[in-house]
Structure 1
């Protein structure tokens, strides 16, 4: 689980900005919130859910991008030594593009706390460090670049369990554009501590992509036991949020070459598909079964409502997070889902979450009035119009003793409200469009 994530000089984040997942230990005198919001590790309450709110362009999606960027640098080794690392600094001033991006993640593996730090310029990985954060922090390794010799240097700490020969092999194979972890992944070296950290970045940090596999593929996999458990949970929740869906089926079928050609696919792609699937392209069809007063009716998934399909997609993601013990980001989690249904789903997630985290961005401000919400799990994003930089505020109170909805508008959206209330602004639009 993640304890904190720090960003500096990455896209809209010019100044050092920390996102802490540590919950307050203060609780209200009345109606104490349930402990399902956090897991206590080493005396710290690590939040299982973080909710990011702010106007469009206020940096929410860029937070998710930064975490994805760190993960990619940590585990992906460039194919060419001459390849430059991806570099995305703040560009709205005259100096940040000449300075490195700095990222730092503090996280837990089996309740052992680690700190991983990267410094990246437009030319190379400038610094990389892995530390075990105990009562006395102990370094695993510190990687830097020597511009005089044009070589990478790695200083190994007391916590490093690599043999002397493996340390040498790792250092000579680590070049300017690659991280130590990514090189370790490509070599046949033995280290329990490096393996566990590499596996953490590979398997425990994820992000929801809009281009993910179709829902039918996710509901019928090669693991029938997992599929059965998924169906049980999905159907129960669909019933609880007041749909009449009582079952679903995933049917396998084959798309013939003639069907592919008729759909307008380019000839070169048709030939490639014919080579790979000479008998036709395997496909799946998802159908939902509705229980009505006249019995059961089967509908193709394409005929289901946008909201219902997004609820199911979200459930599939959440169960994967929970079972995989992942820290996952979801942008615009509310898309097409009613506020009350989303509240129910998030409560369900918190009741099932153990060693996992969900970081979401939303424009559904009604969530800020939810009675189950921990205010210290919310991050308020704001963009400075003059500098283009982002600031992030963490509320300093837990319970809903103050109207969080009104607080948000006072702190973040007051300028928009002022403009909306001025009808002359819209008259100006009319003049611009019609020239009157």
Structure 2
């Protein structure tokens, strides 16, 4: 479980900004359903954050920043000369030359940890990993510009053996994090392994899956797991109002030799490397609909965007809950009806344990949900300098949260949309374009 994530000088985040998962102390524990949070070490940590804000305010960049931190922690560069990815704030002359800083406070088996990393255009400048309670330094890695060397200080109370310490000191270079090097070597340390596994297995950015991948996830070959998913999915599709009563996954297998003559040799060699057994399997999903005329089967290409996205979201939720992950979804409402999405999020909260979702949305109707925890909403704003801030405005349950939200954000866009007079300038611009187009045709 993640307690907080802090960003500085990354993309639109110039100043230090914290994304906190802590529930507000103003909200009594009994005021709203406890499914929203999990209590660890006396702290109530939220299982769901709703991130709202106008387009371009930095919601997606925040998700990318968390994925960026994960990448730095677990992926070791292939070449010593590779430089780390560096994406500073570019709208002023000072920030573009300063390092980015990211940190995460999180729990592994109810023990709090802190990870910090500072990255410049040329190297990883600093990295810290420590246990908060009790306070144990695992390591502090730093760069000395005078000697152009990387040094690592290990805590005296850590479980990192002398041989592992020596191996890391000899292997870690300017562009690689200590955690990523540890993960690439066969070294021993329970604490480092637990932290590496946390970043590698329990932090994720959800990307929209293709229908092909959906079919693969619904038919994995694990009969018990596939049946469990099927029962859950069919119950969900029934509850949200579809007439889908069953589904089947068809699988077609053919030999690579059958297509060798029909595709370029370079492409064939690539496919051959990906399928060394010489066979390709392709799965197709068919949804079965219950109608007064009997059950009818439809290929997934004929299904609505909403139905397919509900299936995708359920598979994501299942993966997050079973894998106990902290996962991010950008624009979660895409193609899904508001009431169905509200139902899905409540269902997730009911089954969630040791897992978290960070979702961005433009669907303000979600803010009207009766069971919404006001302290689970994060508002993203960007000032006149292009700098993103994340705000948490606590609004009492008796107030209209949507109205309060709209007052906090820039009201200009809403006022313009309500006034037809303010839109007349676009008619003039279009008329200008039209006149120029007609003039070009006559010439």
Q: TM-score, with normalisation over the residues of structure 2? A: 0.93
Matches of 1:109 and 1:348, distance apart in 2: 25
1:303-314 matches, cutoff 5 A: 303-314=302-313
Deviation at 1:302, TM superposition (A): 0.8
Residue 139 (structure 1) aligned to one of 137, 147, 156: 137
Task: Identify if the C-alpha distance between structure 1 residues 308 and 119 changes in structure 2 by more than 3 Å, giving closer, same or farther.
Answer: same
Matches of 1:279 and 1:101, distance apart in 2: 46
Gaps of 5+ in 2: 436-443
Query: CA contact under 8 A between 1:132 and 1:159: conserved in structure 2?
Result: no
- Give the structure 1 partner of residue 431 of structure 2: 434
Task: Identify if the C-alpha distance between structure 1 residues 37 and 265 changes in structure 2 by more than 3 Å, giving closer, same or farther.
Answer: farther
1:273-312 matches, cutoff 5 A: 273=271, 276=275, 281-312=280-311
- Post-superposition Cα deviations, 1:175-208, rounded to whole Å, max 9, x if no partner, equal 0001000111122211000000000001011111
Q: Is 1:418 matched up with 2:415?
A: yes
Matches of 1:305 and 1:232, distance apart in 2: 21
- Give the structure 1 partner of residue 53 of structure 2: 54
Q: Is 1:391 matched up with 2:389?
A: yes
Residue 208 (structure 2) aligned to one of 187, 207, 210: 210
Q: Is 1:115 matched up with 2:114?
A: yes
Matches of 1:196 and 1:322, distance apart in 2: 19
Query: CA contact under 8 A between 2:245 and 2:288: conserved in structure 1?
Result: yes
Matches of 1:211 and 1:259, distance apart in 2: 28
- Give the structure 2 partner of residue 172 of structure 1: 170
Q: Secondary structure at the match of 1:434?
A: helix
Q: Secondary structure at the match of 1:227?
A: helix
Query: CA contact under 8 A between 1:13 and 1:389: conserved in structure 2?
Result: yes
Q: TM-score, with normalisation over the residues of structure 1? A: 0.94
1:204-243 matches, cutoff 5 A: 204-210=202-208, 214-243=213-242
Task: Identify if the C-alpha distance between structure 1 residues 183 and 273 changes in structure 2 by more than 3 Å, giving closer, same or farther.
Answer: closer
Q: Secondary structure at the match of 1:214?
A: helix
Matches of 2:353 and 2:428, distance apart in 1: 57
1:339-358 matches, cutoff 5 A: 339-358=338-357
Deviation at 1:256, TM superposition (A): 6.9
Matches of 1:149 and 1:278, distance apart in 2: 52
Query: CA contact under 8 A between 2:209 and 2:312: conserved in structure 1?
Result: no
- Give the structure 2 partner of residue 406 of structure 1: 403
- Give the structure 1 partner of residue 102 of structure 2: 103
- Post-superposition Cα deviations, 1:366-393, rounded to whole Å, max 9, x if no partner, equal 0001101001000011111x20011111
Matches of 1:115 and 1:28, distance apart in 2: 28
Matches of 1:17 and 1:329, distance apart in 2: 18
Task: Identify if the C-alpha distance between structure 1 residues 173 and 10 changes in structure 2 by more than 3 Å, giving closer, same or farther.
Answer: same
Deviation at 1:265, TM superposition (A): 6.1
Q: Secondary structure at the match of 2:403?
A: helix
The count of aligned residue pairs is 431
Query: CA contact under 8 A between 2:251 and 2:284: conserved in structure 1?
Result: yes
Task: Identify if the C-alpha distance between structure 1 residues 267 and 211 changes in structure 2 by more than 3 Å, giving closer, same or farther.
Answer: farther
- Give the structure 2 partner of residue 158 of structure 1: 156
Query: CA contact under 8 A between 2:53 and 2:59: conserved in structure 1?
Result: yes
Task: Identify if the C-alpha distance between structure 1 residues 127 and 34 changes in structure 2 by more than 3 Å, giving closer, same or farther.
Answer: same
Task: Identify if the C-alpha distance between structure 1 residues 423 and 258 changes in structure 2 by more than 3 Å, giving closer, same or farther.
Answer: farther
Deviation at 1:162, TM superposition (A): 1.6
Deviation at 1:293, TM superposition (A): 1.2
Matches of 2:84 and 2:369, distance apart in 1: 43
- Post-superposition Cα deviations, 1:230-253, rounded to whole Å, max 9, x if no partner, equal 111000111111111111111111
Query: Cα RMSD over matched residues?
Result: 2.1
Query: CA contact under 8 A between 2:127 and 2:140: conserved in structure 1?
Result: yes
Q: Is 1:25 matched up with 2:22?
A: no
Deviation at 1:294, TM superposition (A): 1.6
Matches of 2:337 and 2:308, distance apart in 1: 12
Matches of 1:111 and 1:28, distance apart in 2: 23
Task: Identify if the C-alpha distance between structure 1 residues 308 and 67 changes in structure 2 by more than 3 Å, giving closer, same or farther.
Answer: same
Query: CA contact under 8 A between 1:371 and 1:400: conserved in structure 2?
Result: no
Q: Secondary structure at the match of 2:170?
A: helix
Query: CA contact under 8 A between 1:332 and 1:361: conserved in structure 2?
Result: yes
Deviation at 1:281, TM superposition (A): 2.8
Matches of 1:199 and 1:250, distance apart in 2: 33
Matches of 1:336 and 1:265, distance apart in 2: 36
Matches of 1:266 and 1:381, distance apart in 2: 48
- Give the structure 2 partner of residue 15 of structure 1: 15
Query: CA contact under 8 A between 2:10 and 2:100: conserved in structure 1?
Result: yes
Matches of 2:270 and 2:177, distance apart in 1: 36
